[in-house]
Amino acid sequence: MSLTNPTRPDAPIPGANYTSDTRNYPWHRPPDITDVDEALEHVMERLTETDDGKRYMSLIASGTPIVDITDIVVTLAIGRGKITTDFAILISGPVTRMIEIMAKSYGVTYTLGIDREDSYITAAAINGRKAVSAPPEDVEEVPLEETPIEEEGGLMSAVSEEEQASMLGYEAEEIDEDE
């Protein structure tokens, strides 16, 4: 009996992730940086002293919002084991500002991406028709009516005993016999 996947012999053995040593991953070890100033210096060095900054500027020039670039930068720092996810959230604001300053200095037209509307993917969009980004304007909003909460009884008190019995699979005669 073989433990490999017969359709894909190069696939991992099922369940191997439960027996592997996860300490080999950088994000499973303590982070290298635990100070805000050190983390910002590390990110600034990555953006200015490597080709990463130029790549990000070309992404921004092509229309990628700066908040998406920030997400990439901090996620890579997490993946490399430099910072934790909580710490990434803390430094996201300053990193976004640094990238914005870089875009201004390079003369790149940018969008921050914080004022965009959420878009919803609908069946019509999947089928090639126009995507809906907000509810149609001609739809009338109906306010929710507040229903008074009855003090006595529980959830099923509003339902008759016969209906409760039918929900539970009993016949009405069986209830009368039990009482």
Alpha helices in 12-129 (DSSP H): 16-19, 36-49, 52-61, 66-79, 85-106, 123-126
Determine how many CB atoms are found less than 10 A away from the CB of residue 68.
14
**What confidence tens digit (pLDDT) does each residue in 14-68 have?**
777 677 676 677 777 888 898 888 999 999 899 989 898 899 999 999 999 999 9
CB 138 within 8 A of CB 132: no
- Spatial neighbors of 29 by CB under 8 A, at least 6 apart, are 23, 81
Picking from 65, 68, 66, 61, the residue whose alpha carbon sits closest to that of residue 109 is 61
Provide the whole-model pTM: 0.54
pLDDT of residue 1: 47
pLDDT of residue 175: 52
Token look-up 């149609």 returns 136
Determine how many CB atoms are found less than 10 A away from the CB of residue 83.
24
pLDDT of residue 153: 58
Q: How many residues does the chain have?
A: 179
